[in-house]
A and B are shown apart, each in its own frame.
Chain A
Amino acid sequence: MPAVKAIKGIGHRTVNAVWRIGVATRFFMLTLTHSGSGFRRFHLIIKELFSTGVMSLIIIIVAGLFVGMVLGLQGYETLKRYGSESALGSMVALSLVRELGPVVAALLFASRAGSAMTAEIGLMKATEQISAMEMMAVNPIARIVAPRFWAGVISMPLLAALFSAVGVFGGYLVGVVQIGVDEGSFWSQMQSAVDFREDILNGVIKSFVFGIVVTVIALFEGYDAPPTAEGVSGATTRTVVTSSLAILMLDFILTAIMFRGN
């Protein structure tokens, strides 16, 4: 009976997915409860901040600059039709601060730092370093997972802010320096359109949420990976795919909550 078999397959997958979400949530809670000792050994977090945050700086800055420049060009072409080129500044700044900064920075972060985290932890598991730690009565969650988690959560908002700031500068380069939009109206319209609490703070909250989600997915996939070469590579792929989808879906939900109405 192929129909029954198909339904069985759907059921099996659903149960599996729910089970994985449950395990991931328990993993997240464990990470939080074991964070205390991670903060006592702060140099571990600093080391991870270096490999997640500092090493992502170049890709974030270059991507931000080019995204801002493209926004400047495209925005100018569109706004020119309505004779409102002076609104270019507010358009570039609003789209960066509200959406593109947090989202694109998180996507880049997931593929740059998240995949590295998964591969690192998966390989530690495959080479039985994690089991060795447990043998020495060192809690691997407190020693390996928690510092990486906090490093990701701290660096994500900073990277998103850098992305937005560099992007605004890129928009300025193309709009004002190259095309010749009036500099005064570029900045003043931007300042009158962008609200600190409504736009900038909401963007920071967004990137904070994305930071939590991306690092938890990356760490869980690594910790959960089958200890083989194939398992680690599959887990790395799943990290990038799942966290990218999670970022985009969460972004829609957060935007609907934050910017509804006005």
Chain B
Amino acid sequence: MERTTVDLWVGIFVVAGIAALVMLAMKVGNLGTYNVSEAYQVHAYFSNIGGLKPKASIKSAGVLVGRVTDITLDTERYEAKVVMSLDKRYRFPKDTFANILTSGLLGEQYIGLMPGGDEEMLKDGEQLKKTQSAMVLEDLIGKFLYSKAEEPAK
């Protein structure tokens, strides 16, 4: 075959392969949706995080505003320290309430932010003071059984 034809086909092949990679990164992966560079970090303590994992989403009013970056156990308080990076475009008041919620009945867990009424806004590196832990199904069942046992027999 003519050399220029070979060159043309190889060029098409390489371009198609790279285009497929870019398409995978942008359309299938999360590279096009979330930019970490313009973010600020806040942290919060939870007494139980349930099944929360790093990279879990942080939502406010259902809108994705950030991601969980790190989860560690603070051995001074024996509570889970959750570091979150939030999008710079979204500012929250200082008394914002952080909840660990579940999407759907068996879905993955995420953090929901409920803005408070404070005039001051959260800055980089600050702490969210008001938190509510994850609902753990076993605890709920345990409580239910306990209250059932306490009821006088009919």
In the bound assembly, the distance between CA atoms of A53 and B18 in angstroms comes to: 13
- Contact indicator per residue, chain A 71-93, by CB within 8 Å of chain B (1) or not (0): 00000000000001000000001
Number of interface residues of B (CB under 8 A): 29
Chain B residues numbered 1-46 whose CB sits less than 8 Å from any CB in chain A: 1, 3, 6-7, 9-10, 12-14, 16-18, 20-21, 23-25, 27-33
Given A46-B7, A50-B10, A200 contacting B20 (CB threshold 8 A):
no
Cβ-closest chain B residue relative to A49:
B10
In the bound assembly, the distance between CA atoms of A49 and B25 in angstroms comes to: 24
Given A161-B24, A162-B20, A195 contacting B29 (CB threshold 8 A):
yes
Q: Is the CB of B53 within 8 A of A54?
A: no
Determine whether B143 belongs to the interface, using a CB cutoff of 8 Å to chain A.
Answer: no
Q: Is the CB of B31 within 8 A of A159?
A: no
Q: Which residues of B contact A196 (CB under 8 A)?
A: 25, 29-31
Determine whether A152 belongs to the interface, using a CB cutoff of 8 Å to chain B.
Answer: no
Cβ-closest chain B residue relative to A169:
B23
Determine whether B55 belongs to the interface, using a CB cutoff of 8 Å to chain A.
Answer: yes
In the bound assembly, the distance between CA atoms of A190 and B30 in angstroms comes to: 8
Q: Is the CB of B29 within 8 A of A199?
A: yes
Which residue from B16, B25, B54 sits with its C-beta under 8 Å from A200?
B25
Q: Is the CB of A192 within 8 A of B57?
A: yes
Chain A residues numbered 47-103 whose CB sits less than 8 Å from any CB in chain B: 47, 49-50, 53-54, 57, 84, 93, 97
In the bound assembly, the distance between CA atoms of A50 and B14 in angstroms comes to: 10
Cβ-closest chain B residue relative to A162:
B20
Chain A residues numbered 199-227 whose CB sits less than 8 Å from any CB in chain B: 199-200, 204
In the bound assembly, the distance between CA atoms of A157 and B20 in angstroms comes to: 10
Q: Which residues of B contact A46 (CB under 8 A)?
A: 6-7, 10
Q: Is the CB of A165 within 8 A of B33?
A: no
Q: Is the CB of A158 within 8 A of B18?
A: yes
Q: Which residues of B contact A157 (CB under 8 A)?
A: 17, 21
Determine whether A178 belongs to the interface, using a CB cutoff of 8 Å to chain B.
Answer: no
Which residue from A53, A164, A187 sits with its C-beta under 8 Å from B20?
A164
In the bound assembly, the distance between CA atoms of A137 and B12 in angstroms comes to: 36
In the bound assembly, the distance between CA atoms of A50 and B8 in angstroms comes to: 10
Q: 3 closest Cβ contacts across the A-B interface?
A: A158-B17, A165-B20, A161-B20
Q: A47-B6, A192-B33 are in contact. List 10 more A-B contacts (CB 8 A).
A: A53-B17, A54-B10, A155-B13, A155-B17, A158-B21, A161-B17, A168-B24, A168-B27, A192-B57, A194-B28
Can you show 20 pairs from A to B with CB atoms below 8 A apart?
A49-B14, A50-B9, A50-B10, A53-B14, A54-B10, A84-B104, A93-B28, A158-B13, A161-B18, A162-B16, A164-B28, A166-B20, A168-B27, A191-B30, A194-B29, A195-B29, A196-B29, A196-B30, A200-B29, A204-B21
- Residues of B at under 8 Å CB distance from A? 1, 3, 6-7, 9-10, 12-14, 16-18, 20-21, 23-25, 27-33, 53-55, 57, 104
- Residues of A at under 8 Å CB distance from B? 43, 46-47, 49-50, 53-54, 57, 84, 93, 97, 154-155, 157-159, 161-162, 164-166, 168, 187, 190-192, 194-196, 199-200, 204, 262
